[in-house]
């Protein structure tokens, strides 16, 4: 009676796929991409390694799914704050920018996760497509907020403004996540709002809620 076969219960397509993706994200987030092996992911998900290949044709496919989910979650965190914001265009833009520049969006683990995926992009064209989609998704959201502002700007100007604002947010997010101790509390949000204001020619600081930062 030494060879007892392991008990298990079935989750079915949706549940199991989600569990495997969650396990992969957790591992990459904790120990980097190198630690997210097929075996480790399976163990974290309470499953045997072979099962991964039953849901994903290859490990890279699982990685792509995980990356898409991470990026969606970050964007969503910035979108969520819009729900409880008054309908003034400047206020909405200001809150959106600010939310992108503080936790949980700014986070060293999220950045490590992001970087871990990023380096796969050069070899894996499907991964590049996932990246492009999530980048454009965020930028389009930003562009929509900018377009709602009361000002005159043609389509080309709008596109350039969205690219510029997206870049400054990306850059601040990146360094803030990589070097948390290099910036004072609230400094990133303040600089981000000032920069976006300067690029668009308005004053977002005036629109921020009273609690400072």
Partner DNA sequence: AAATTAATTATACGCTTGCATAATTACGCG
Partner DNA sequence: CGCGTAATTATGCAAGCGTATAATTAATTT
List of residues contacting a copy of itself (CB under 8 A)? 31-33, 108-109, 111-112, 115-116, 118-123, 128, 131-132, 135-136, 160, 163-164, 166-172, 174-175, 178-179, 182-183, 187, 190-192, 194-195, 198-199, 201
Nearer to DNA, 12 or 150 (CB): 12
151 binds, among DNA, a copy of itself, none (CB under 5 to 8 A by kind): none
Decide: is 48 part of the binding site for DNA (CB under 7 A): yes
Q: What are phi and psi of 78, to 5 degrees?
A: -80, -30
User: At which residue do the structure tokens 């699982």 appear?
Assistant: 62
Burial 140-167 (b: 16+ CB within 10 A, else e): ebbbebbeebeeeeeeeeeeebbeebbe
| Near DNA by CB under 7 A: residue from 30, 31, 32, 49 | 49
54 binds, among a copy of itself, DNA, none (CB under 5 to 8 A by kind): DNA
Decide: is 53 part of the binding site for DNA (CB under 7 A): yes
Minimal distance, residue 108 CB to DNA, in Å:
22
Decide: is 151 part of the binding site for DNA (CB under 7 A): no
Decide: is 13 part of the binding site for DNA (CB under 7 A): yes
| Near DNA by CB under 7 A: residue from 30, 31, 32, 39 | 39
Nearer to DNA, 53 or 88 (CB): 53
171 binds, among DNA, a copy of itself, none (CB under 5 to 8 A by kind): a copy of itself
| Entry field: residues in the chain | 213
Q: What are phi and psi of 100, to 5 degrees?
A: -75, -10
Long-range contacts of 52-60 (CB under 8 A, 24+ apart): 52/20, 55/13, 55/16, 55/17, 55/20, 56/20, 60/120, 60/124, 60/126, 60/127
Mapped onto helix, strand or coil, the DSSP state of residue 58 is coil
Minimal distance, residue 178 CB to a copy of itself, in Å:
6
Burial of 125 (0-12, 13-18, 19+ CB in 10 A): exposed
Q: Around Cβ 40, how many Cβ atoms within 10 Å?
A: 15
The site for DNA (CB under 7 A) is made up of 3-13, 16, 35-40, 46-54, 58-60
């Amino acid at each position: 009676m030494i060879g007892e076969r392991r008990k298990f219960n079935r989750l079915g397509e949706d549940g199991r796929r989600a569990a495997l993706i969650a396990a992969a994200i957790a591992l990459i987030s904790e120990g980097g991409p190198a630690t997210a092996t097929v075996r480790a992911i399976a163990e974290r998900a309470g499953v045997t390694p072979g099962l991964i290949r039953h849901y994903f044709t290859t490990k890279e496919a699982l990685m792509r799914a995980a990356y898409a989910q991470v990026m969606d979650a970050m964007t969503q965190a910035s979108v969520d704050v819009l729900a409880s914001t008054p309908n003034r265009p400047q206020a909405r833009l200001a809150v959106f920018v600010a939310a992108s520049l503080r936790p949980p969006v700014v986070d060293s683990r999220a950045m490590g996760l992001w970087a871990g995926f990023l380096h796969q992009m050069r070899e894996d064209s499907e991964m590049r497509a996932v990246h492009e989609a999530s980048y454009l998704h965020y930028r389009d959201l930003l562009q929509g907020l900018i377009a709602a502002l009361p000002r005159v700007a043609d389509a080309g100007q709008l596109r350039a403004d969205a690219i510029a604002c997206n870049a400054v947010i990306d850059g601040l997010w990146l360094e803030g996540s990589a070097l948390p101790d290099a910036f004072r509390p609230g400094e990133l949000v303040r600089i981000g709002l000032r920069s976006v204001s300067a690029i668009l020619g308005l004053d977002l600081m005036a629109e921020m809620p009273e609690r400072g930062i």
